[in-house]
Amino acid sequence: GGQQAAAAMPYNATKAGEHGEAARTPQPGQTCPVPHPVASASTAGETTPSPKTGNGAPPLGVCPAGDLDRVRADGSEQRLTTNQGVPVADNQNSLKVGLRGPTAMEDFILREKITHFDHERIPERVVHARGSAAHGYFESYQDLSDLTRAAPFAAAGKRTPVFVRFSTVAGERGSADTVRDVRGFAVKFYTDEGNWDLVGNNIPVFFIQDAMKFPDLIHSVKPEPHNGIPQAASAHDTFWDFVTLMPESTHMLMWHLSDRAIPRSYRTMQGFGVHTFRLVNAQGASVFCKFHWQPVGGTHSLVWDEAAKIIGADPDFHRRDLWEAIEAGAYPEWELGLQIFTEEQAASFPFDVLDPTKIVPEELVPVQVVGKMTLNRNPDNFFAETEQVAFCTAHIVPGIDFTNDPLLQGRIHSYLDTQISRLGGANFHEIPINAPLAPVHNNQRDGMHRQAVHRGRVAYEPNSLGGGCPFQAGMAGFTTAFSQMPQPPEDKVRGKPELFADHYSQARLFWISQSPAEQAHIVNAYRFELSRVTVPAIRVRLLSMLANVDPILAEGVAQGLGMDVPPAMPLATDAPPPHYEPSPALSLLSRPGAIGAKTRKVAILAGHGVDADSVKTVYAALLAAGAVPRVVAPQLGQLTAADGSRLDVEISIEAGPGVLYDAVVIADGATSAAMLAGDADARDFVRLQYRHCKPMLAIGDGQQLLAAAGIPAALADGSPDPALWQVSAGALDSALAEFQQALGGHRNFQRETD
């Protein structure tokens, strides 16, 4: 690896020695110098190798990495060996009986290598197969011991290591990132008192109310079993057949069809624990709690046309974004918010807090921010860490407890169980990424791939031969160990509480809380998804469901499908539905974020004859604002500017199309503008930037490209477009300041015509 090493070896000098008689007297193997780790590099540029892509591991940040040190392997300046540590002389040729003969059975080196390769794959996760993860830490803002004795909240400033995996749900491991889907948001806290996994999503509710229906839900959304189509999409018959027969999914569907399901970045999503949990303090007093992760960078999403095109342009869009932000030192951050309420308060709510298809509106119970999570280190190895990490909702620690939410209750079983088949046995907790930092001592023994070497005769309890150890931490109370909150017993029954039957009030709450642009996106998303459904009766059923949510919504979707709104689906309850006022917190636009232009990707379009000063001015200003500028041109190599100077092109338009950038600047220069105006890729670039409502700045002659691409100079009603700047070179400075300001707002939907 490494740029220098690659440059020093333009071809493989020992290749010739593998052939003919020379093969009987092999040359010494090649070695290459270890690349020098560059501390703050991004992987984006060709000239900026990252320590992650070289052999050397970077210096360790905060705590979590510490314990993986013992298992880190690094081959730099080492000789190649078999798995038994035997040095290997020739890694090119199998052992043959004569140069043209068959391969010898005794070639244990070949056989070991191939056998290992044959078994490299493990089963992918049955859901959430596609994901990406990073290390970091959670820092508590305050001492929360009055509410909970959970270790991460024990003191202000206390840091707990975390490993966080983001994922899509339906797609297979190799599917694209920007599909319409719920995103998983799973956090493993390595606390002083064992691992706590908060296995959440970026949407605070779920499709179903009871774990009994989970296999049905997933079977309906996964590729259809007869033909394996479609990949990573809910836009097909079986999904819509199922959910329209399950009216409890109405609320979740509103979120699923909103822009929440096509995030701009993992860094710009909220996360939610979904279920109501309990916090328990050292005295055994308990309150209910909902967990919220709030991105410091604000909540930003893609638009559907863009998301669909990114699937082709960069299927790793979210994975790359997370990786590059961390490599560049722009560490993603989320604040942890809690909604705390008592059992008595919960009893007064117009919904059941055990129902995972309901939120607790923030107007009813405000979110109190209690700490911040920072992701500051990429994994060293995708398989060892991201793939092998095992999250389990059953992993809670003293101070946190479950509630009787029937979806959560089923999950407590599922996650532990699924790891046994996915990771090949009951000892998956010993895989380094899963091992707690807290010590583990019990009498569980043996099993596949056991790593620990347990000492002594005693593997049972009670014992006297081991002095009674490991001893029970104490049944006396809540202070020394995990104890369940006592719950009064009830009769066994298969059924649901009465309030679970209200399927529409909160779906309506979500709808009336959205901005007009967000509402339009929801209508369009229903139109798209149901247009992909082939059975007309399913469309009718969906419309009869939406008729219970809101007439404008139902009418909009019906129009999009060329249908009339049918009579509303019968309700499951006679009880009058609760009334909710709009909740502004439910709109993505309510959380613009505090990072402004930081980490926004901005293309500077240029061709030969460009005005070098305009490029340099914009580049420097964007860098200073923390944005990520890239010189994008019709072809790689160098541009000859109007003043004869030369500029490096960072990526070609073909390889870096418009959907991959948050904004565009078109540089000044008559020849450059003419070159871009004549280039179909360049015209598409700005058309899509325009269509997707992104900030655009054209300097001087650069405006010619906008004209060639047919970009309107004003909005449809004749008013000026607030996200489009067409300026002379002289007016650049003030326009640039406004443009940078607009980067923080991400998009201007006033322009939208979809």
Which positions lie near ligand HDD, rule CB under 6 A?
125-128, 131, 165, 167, 184, 186, 199-201, 206, 211, 214, 274, 356, 390-391, 407, 410-411, 414-415, 418-419
Is 442 assigned a catalytic role?
A: no
One of 128, 318, 429, 608 is an active-site residue; which one? Answer: 128
Handedness of CA 253, 259, 265, 267 (dihedral sign): negative
Name the residue nearer to ligand HDD (CB basis): 187 or 673. 187
Q: How far is CA 314 from CA 308, 410, 657, 685, in A?
A: 10, 36, 10, 15
- 523 contacts 228 by C-beta, under 8 angstroms: no
Q: How far is the CB of 170 from ligand HDD (least distance, A)?
A: 12
- CA–centroid distance for 4 within its chain: 33
Q: How far is the CB of 290 from ligand HDD (least distance, A)?
A: 12
d(CA 325, CA 320): 8
- 189 contacts 152 by C-beta, under 8 angstroms: yes
Name the residue nearer to ligand HDD (CB basis): 274 or 706. 274
The two structure tokens encoding residue 132: 């990406």
Name the residue nearer to ligand HDD (CB basis): 274 or 365. 274
One of 55, 135, 195, 201 is an active-site residue; which one? Answer: 201
Name the residue nearer to ligand HDD (CB basis): 400 or 706. 400
Q: Where are the beta strands (DSSP E) in 27-123?
A: none
- 416 contacts 445 by C-beta, under 8 angstroms: no
Name the residue nearer to ligand HDD (CB basis): 125 or 135. 125
- 563 contacts 544 by C-beta, under 8 angstroms: no
- 303 contacts 520 by C-beta, under 8 angstroms: no
Q: How far is the CB of 247 from ligand HDD (least distance, A)?
A: 18
3-class secondary structure, 199: strand
Q: How far is the CB of 128 from ligand HDD (least distance, A)?
A: 3
Q: How far is the CB of 447 from ligand HDD (least distance, A)?
A: 19
Name the residue nearer to ligand HDD (CB basis): 299 or 726. 299
d(CA 671, CA 645): 15
Q: How far is the CB of 209 from ligand HDD (least distance, A)?
A: 10
3-class secondary structure, 601: strand
The two structure tokens encoding residue 424: 């090949």
The two structure tokens encoding residue 188: 């493993």
The alpha-helical segments, DSSP class H, found in 257-398 are 304-313, 317-327, 343-348
Q: What share of the chain is helix, strand, coil (3-state, %, to 5)?
A: 35, 15, 50
Q: How far is the CB of 389 from ligand HDD (least distance, A)?
A: 6
The two structure tokens encoding residue 715: 């909005």
- 177 contacts 263 by C-beta, under 8 angstroms: no
The amino acid occupying position 287 is V
d(CA 280, CA 616): 57
Name the residue nearer to ligand HDD (CB basis): 170 or 595. 170
Those residues with Cβ within 8 angstroms of residue 694's Cβ, 6 or more apart along the chain or in another chain:
661, 662, 663, 664, 723, 746, 747
Query: Is the backbone of residue 590 left (phi > 0), alpha (psi -120 to 50) or beta?
Result: alpha
Q: How far is the CB of 32 from ligand HDD (least distance, A)?
A: 36
Name the residue nearer to ligand HDD (CB basis): 121 or 445. 121
Which of the 8 DSSP states describes residue 88? -
Q: What's the count of helices (H) and strands (E) in the chain, helices before strands?
A: 18, 18
Q: Which residue is nearest to ligand HDD (CB)?
A: 184
The amino acid occupying position 754 is D
Q: HEC states along 652-687?
A: ECCCCCHHHCCEEEECCCHHHHHHHHCCHHHHHHHH
d(CA 164, CA 11): 41
Name the residue nearer to ligand HDD (CB basis): 387 or 701. 387
Give the residue from 639, 643, 614 showing the smallest Cα distance to 629. Answer: 614
d(CA 593, CA 374): 15
Name the residue nearer to ligand HDD (CB basis): 127 or 554. 127
Helix (H) or strand (E) holding 519: helix 516-531
3-class secondary structure, 734: helix
Q: Where are the beta strands (DSSP E) in 510-621?
A: 601-605
Q: How far is the CB of 640 from ligand HDD (least distance, A)?
A: 49
Q: Which residues of 429-457 are buried (b: 16+ CB within 10 A; e: fewer)?
A: bebbbbbbbeeeeeeeeeeeeeeeeeeee
d(CA 652, CA 655): 5
d(CA 180, CA 752): 20
Is 36 assigned a catalytic role?
A: no
Q: How far is the CB of 431 from ligand HDD (least distance, A)?
A: 13
d(CA 737, CA 446): 64
Q: How far is the CB of 586 from ligand HDD (least distance, A)?
A: 18
Name the residue nearer to ligand HDD (CB basis): 248 or 721. 248
Q: How far is the CB of 427 from ligand HDD (least distance, A)?
A: 16
- 434 contacts 71 by C-beta, under 8 angstroms: no
Name the residue nearer to ligand HDD (CB basis): 201 or 748. 201
Q: How far is the CB of 456 from ligand HDD (least distance, A)?
A: 33
Name the residue nearer to ligand HDD (CB basis): 199 or 647. 199
Active site residues: 128, 201
